[in-house]
Amino acid sequence: MKEDLVEAFAKNLKLLMGDMSVSDLAKKVGIPQQTISRYLLCQREITLTNLCKIADFFDEDIDYLIGRKE
């Protein structure tokens, strides 16, 4: 189940980012670029703090970001 949430988050983050670069997102939300890259590659599980930062930036529900709600 944990892997499913990590994969769903990566997929949804990619969709939300669209043409935005990892570098731009990192600067805008205050998360290191390498950390966001690892989220997108499913190499790192997101922290609650960073999940909230990304949800707030995109004005999205956390449940949507982790794939629990469409």
Q: Report the CATH number that the domain containing residue 21 is assigned in CATH.
A: 1.10.260.40
Distance (Å, whole) CA 23 – CA 31: 10
Average of per-residue pLDDT across 22-36: 98
Residue 69: predicted pLDDT: 85
Confidence of residue 1 (pLDDT cuts 50, 70, 90): low
pTM: 0.91
Confidence of residue 16 (pLDDT cuts 50, 70, 90): very high
Give the number of domains in the chain.
1
> Would you say residue 29 lies in a domain?
yes
> Would you say residue 12 lies in a domain?
yes
> Would you say residue 50 lies in a domain?
yes
Average of per-residue pLDDT across 29-35: 98
From residue 44, how far is each of 19, 55, 59, 70 by CA, in Å?
A: 22, 17, 22, 23
SS3 content of the chain, % helix, strand, coil (to 5): 65, 0, 35
